[in-house]
Amino acid sequence: MGVAVSDPLFLTAQGLEIIERKSENKLRRTLARIEELIEEYQVGTIVLGFPKHMNNTVGERAEKSQALKETLERRTGCKVVLWDERLTSVLANRTLMEEKVRREKRGQYVDMLAAVFILQGYLDAMKEKEKDGEAAVYPF
């Protein structure tokens, strides 16, 4: 699971780390690490990738993200926003190829870079809402 955080002004997203899970169904350590990061970075809103199908339907992976959203809200007390993550891994891979990162190293960074693209998309959308006079929900 890639993790990114925003700068204090909510302008840019920076990759932080990748939280490794031994099994997809084992979340205890993952949740504990997320709680540590929330405290360390004073997070109020979590932006969670929502893996919809390209035709905009919700499949099994997206349903698991919805369940994780509920778990995170319950455990952390933070607001959790599901954010469309379609093509972020493709974009992350392309970016790493353009930066000439070797194929065997790319896998280490794809999830974290995809998390950066997801968070940056959210931050940019909040800036647009603000520009249009709408109330933006920043991760306070």
Question: Which residue ranges form the domains of the chain, and what is each CATH number?
Answer: 2-131 (3.30.420.140)
15 strand-pairing partners? 4
Task: DSSP for 28-71, please give it.
Answer: HHHHHHHHHHHHHHT-SEEEEEE---TTS---HHHHHHHHHHHH
Give me the pLDDT at residue 51, please.
87
Whether residue 28 is predicted with pLDDT greater than 70 in this model: the reply is yes
For residues 29 and 22, give the distance between their C-alpha atoms in angstroms, rounded to a whole number. 10
For residues 19 and 1, give the distance between their C-alpha atoms in angstroms, rounded to a whole number. 5
Please write the tens of the pLDDT for every residue from 87-127: 777 777 687 777 777 777 777 787 888 899 999 999 999 88
3-state secondary structure of 111: helix
**Does the pTM exceed 0.75?**
yes
Please write the tens of the pLDDT for every residue from 50-72: 988 788 788 888 899 999 999 99
Work out the mean pLDDT of the chain and round it to a whole number.
86
Residue 73, token pair as written in the block: 């809200």
Give me the pLDDT at residue 92, please.
76
Whether residue 130 is predicted with pLDDT greater than 80 in this model: the reply is no
Task: DSSP for 115-135, please give it.
Answer: HHHHHHHHHHHHHHHHHTTPP
